[in-house]
Amino acid sequence: MSEDKQQAQPQTPQGGQDAGKEPKQGGRRGRGGSARGRGRRPQGRRHAGKQPAVANKGEHILFVGFMGSGKTSVSRVVAKRAGLPLIDIDAYIEKTQGRSIKQIFADEGEEGFRRIETQAMAALAYEPKSIISCGGGACNSAINRGILKALGTVVYLKVPLEEAIARISDPSTRPLLNGERPVREIYEERMPLYRDAADITINTAGKGIGGNVSQVIGALRRNKLI
Ligand code: S3P
């Protein structure tokens, strides 16, 4: 497991009676730190660490963005400040699979990893309201984007490619950085997908973790999400 992704795994998901969730009401989605046009979700339903009996109805706060956008570090601090559990999907996958992400790619290719990733994301519906750090490819498929929408509010950490690459301390843990496709091509392909999935967009360019956390917390409070 990459060292920055330890802790932060959910409990083993339990089946519920209400697995078929409705996607949240759509409307235009906010940019620049707001969540305009979204139907208000019920506020403040806390489960005090217990598993809810039924699927979570879209209360999670999920971080998406390219590798190196700061999802892991920002979500960790936001979870602490908001007093919410933290789930890192990559760490959860590594724990449940008993293999590193790199090993899963080596064993099953990207396609196999994406299957596992989608299952892990779907299982989060059974977790109490949490801060969730997603993998950089979480917005790739329409199925995943639907799952994200149903799970809760999506916060997109936008980052210029050069800055993202510079922030990754150990590129060997990211198979796609060592794959056949040029990273810029992957980045450009994903930009519209992140934008499409985002409820709140935070421009992280040139800012440290502290600055990004403040912006995220501000946006979440303004939208009464924490
Ligand atoms: C991936 C990003 C990684 C990890 C896997 C695939 C991607 O997560 O899920 O290597 O497709 O961008 P991070 O974004 O946390 O590095």
pLDDT tens per residue, range 121-133: 999 999 999 999 9
Contact yes or no for 101/113 (Cβ under 8 A): yes
Q: Which residue is it, tokens 């963005």? A: 65
Residue 146: which H helix or E strand, with range? helix 142-151
- pLDDT at position 16: 31
- pLDDT at position 98: 98
- pLDDT at position 8: 56
- The CA 217 to ligand 1 mean position distance, Å, reads 24
**Is residue 147 in contact with ligand 1, taking CB distance under 6 Å?**
no
Q: Which residue is it, tokens 């996607």? A: 23
Indicate which residue's Cα is closest to atom 8 of ligand 1: 135
Residue 165: which H helix or E strand, with range? helix 161-167
- pLDDT at position 41: 41
Return the closest-CA partner of residue 88 out of 14, 5, 173.
5
Q: Which residue is it, tokens 């590129």? A: 171
**Is residue 65 in contact with ligand 1, taking CB distance under 6 Å?**
no
Contact yes or no for 87/128 (Cβ under 8 A): no
Tell me the C-alpha distance between 169 and 93, whole Å: 21
Tell me the C-alpha distance between 178 and 183, whole Å: 9
Pocket test for ligand 1, best of 174, 185, 204 (most atoms within 8 A of CB): 174
- pLDDT at position 95: 97
- The CA 67 to ligand 1 mean position distance, Å, reads 6
- pLDDT at position 147: 97
Residue ranges in the chain modelled with pLDDT below 70? 1-57
